[in-house]
A and B are shown apart, each in its own frame.
Chain A
C-alpha cells in the first residue's frame, strides 16, 4: 500500500478498495517501524490522524467525498497546526503549541485530508542539509550517512522512504527543490504569492513560498489544487485565478522551447551530473520540444544578494522570538535585557544566530545603503535576466544541484561552502518565479534532480512537463535499496 501515489490512493478510496482508517493506520505503522532510521518526523499525530480518517470515511459513506477525502499527508513543522507542537526545528519553539492553523493547514483540513504529523527541518528553514534541527539530523533514505538536503529534509526523506505519499514544504532559496533532488522525489515551489504564507513561520518574507514534495508531478498538482489561492490574511498573497493544476497534465509538449542557461552548465559540474541532465533534456526533445542556449548573466551575483536579503529579513522576523509571549524563556532573568539575550542565546542554534547577526549588521545605521539597498538593486538585475530569457523560451531547465547528496558532516563547519550548495536554486526565489525539481537520473546510486523554471504563474506548464517526463521515464519510481 505504501508504494501508492496520492492519485492512486484517492482512486482506491473512491472505489472502496480500502478505508481511510486502513490506509492511515498502515502509514502510521510504517512510520513507527522505520522512521528511527531517518528521523523525518518531529511529531506523529496518530490519534488526530485516525479521528480525521474516521470522519473522512463517514463523509464518504454519506456521499460527500471530494478527491482529497481521507488521503494521508503530512506538514513541514514550519506550518502552524492548532493544538499541535509547531517547533520550526528550533529549541526556541520546542514548547510552542500553535494556537491556530496556517491557511495551508486549514485548506487541507477543509479538503478532508488526513495529517499524519509534523516533519523535521533545518532550524527556522535555514540550512541545506537538515543538520541544524534541534530535533537531530535527518538521514537520506538512499544512503543513511548522506544528508537529505534542506531545509525541507524531513518532507523529502519521508516521501522517499514511503512514510507518507506527499508533504507540504517551503522554499526560500531552494529548500523544496534541493532536498527533492537529493532524495529522488518531485518538489515544486510555486510563484511568490501563489500560496498563502499566513501561519507559515516567516524566515525571509520576500522570498518564502510554500509548496509540495511528492513522488509524482500529478500528485504535486493535486496538492497545489488545495494549497494555492488568494488569502486576505497574507498581505503579499496574489489575487490571481487558480487553474485546476491537474487539467493540463496530459497536454502534448511538442513545439515548446526549452532554454538552457550557459551559466548553469558550468565546466566544474561533474561529467556524470552533466550527462544525467543532458539525457533528461534529450527525452524532452524526443517529446517534441526544442532546445536553445540562453544566458542569465547576473547568475554569479545571486548568492551574494541572497545572503544580504535573507539574513536581513530573518533578523527582523525573528525579533519576535524574545521569551515574552511564547517560546523559550531562560531561567531567572535578572532584568529584561538579560531575559531577551539569554532566551535568544539559548533558544537559537548557531546558523540562526549567524544569520541574525549578518542581517542586523547589514541593516544597521550607516550600512543599509551599502548592503540591503544594494542587494535589492542587484536583485532586480537578476529578475530582469529571467524576464529577458522568457521572451525567447517557454521554460528553463538546469541541474537542481551541483552534485548529488553529500555526506553528513561534510559542510557543517564551513557556512559559506554550505551556502554555495544552493547556487542553481537561489536566483529563482530572488526573481519570485515558480520552479520544480524532478528525479532524472542517478550518480553513484544517489538521485539527481532536473530543475524546471517557469514564467510567473506558469505552474501548470511545469506540472505538465514533469508529468510528461514521468510518463516516458521511471526515475520517479526508483526506490532506495533498503526499501525494496
Chain B
C-alpha cells in the first residue's frame, strides 16, 4: 500500500517525531515499501485462528499488593534533563 506525503506527515505527528520536509519523500518511499511487504498477510485465511500475544500463551502473572521498592527519587532524577523541587520540568502547558 502506497502512502501519500500528507499521510506520512500525519503519522510523524502521531509519533511525535520531527521530520524535515526534505526527508518526507524518502520516508514515503521506504514506508510504502515496508507496507507493501506486509500486505501479503491480507491474503491469508485466519478466520478461525486466535491471535497469539505470547509464544507460550502465558497469562500476566499477578503479585501481592505489597510495597517492594523504596523511593529513590533523587537517584533517578540525577539523569533527568531538568528538575526542580523533585519535579520534572517541561515547558509551560497550561497558561
User: Chain B: residues with CB nearer than 8 A to chain A?
Assistant: 8, 11-12, 14-19, 27, 30-31, 33-35, 37-42, 44, 46, 49-56, 58, 60-61, 63, 72, 75-76, 78-82, 88, 90-93
Are A358 and B79 in contact, CB atoms less than 8 angstroms apart?
no
Interfacial chain A residues near B42, Cβ < 8 Å: 370, 374
| Given A339-B91, A354-B27, also A419-B16 (CB < 8 A) | no
Interchain CB contact under 8 A, B12 and A357: yes
The interface stretch among A44-52, A68-76, A344-352 is A344-352
Whether A301 pairs with B40 at a CB distance below 8 angstroms is yes
Partner of B16, one of A97, A325, A341, A456: A341
Q: How far is the CB of A236 from chain B (nearest CB, A)?
A: 7
Residues of chain B within 8 A of A433, CB atoms compared: 55
| Among candidates B8, B34, B60, B72, residue contacting A415 with C-beta atoms closer than 8 Å | B34
Please give, as numbers and ranges, the residues of chain A lying within 8 Å of B91 by CB-CB distance.
333-336, 338-339
The residues of B that contact A282 with a CB separation of less than 8 Å are none
Query: 5 smallest A-B Cβ distances: which pairs?
Result: A432-B55, A345-B18, A376-B51, A329-B81, A377-B46
A to B CB contacts below 8 Å, 24 in the list:
A97-B79, A193-B55, A301-B44, A322-B16, A323-B81, A324-B88, A325-B88, A326-B79, A335-B91, A342-B18, A345-B18, A353-B19, A353-B27, A354-B30, A356-B15, A357-B12, A360-B15, A375-B41, A377-B50, A378-B49, A379-B52, A380-B52, A381-B46, A383-B55
| Known interface pairs A358-B31, A358-B35; A324-B81 also in contact (CB < 8 Å) | yes
Q: Does chain B have a CB within 8 A of A232?
A: yes
Find out whether the CB atom of B56 lies under 8 angstroms from the CB atom of A303.
Answer: no
Inter-chain CA distance A341–B49, complex, in Å, is 38
Given A99-B78, A357-B17, CB of A304 within 8 Å of CB of B61: no
Q: Which of B37, B53, B78, B90 contacts A339 (CB 8 A)?
A: B90
Q: How many residues of A contact B (CB 8 A)?
A: 70
A377 neighbours in B (Cβ, 8 Å): 44, 46, 49-52
Cα A341 to Cα B35 in complex, Å, equals: 24
- CB under 8 Å from chain B, chain A span 52-111: 95-97, 99
Q: Which of A96, A333, A344, A370 contacts B79 (CB 8 A)?
A: A96
* A99/B56 in contact, CB under 8 A: no
Chain A contacts to B: CB under 8 angstroms: 95-97, 99, 191-193, 206, 232, 235-236, 238, 300-301, 303-305, 307-308, 315, 322-327, 329, 333-342, 344-346, 348, 353-354, 356-358, 360-362, 364, 370-371, 373-381, 383, 415-416, 419, 430-433, 456
Q: Is the interface of B mostly helix, strand, loop or mixed?
A: loop
Residues in chain B near residue A333, CB distance under 8 A: 90-91
Kindly list chain A residues whose C-beta atoms are within 8 Å of the C-beta of B58: 193, 236, 238
Q: With A431-B55, A432-B55 as given contacts, are A381 and B79 in contact (CB-CB < 8 Å)?
A: no
Q: Report the nearest B residue to A428, measured CB to CB.
A: B55
Docked-complex contact B81 and A304, CB < 8 angstroms: no
Cβ distance B65 to chain A, nearest Cβ, rounded Å = 14
- When the two chains form their complex, are residues A456 and B49 in contact, meaning their CB atoms are under 8 A apart? no
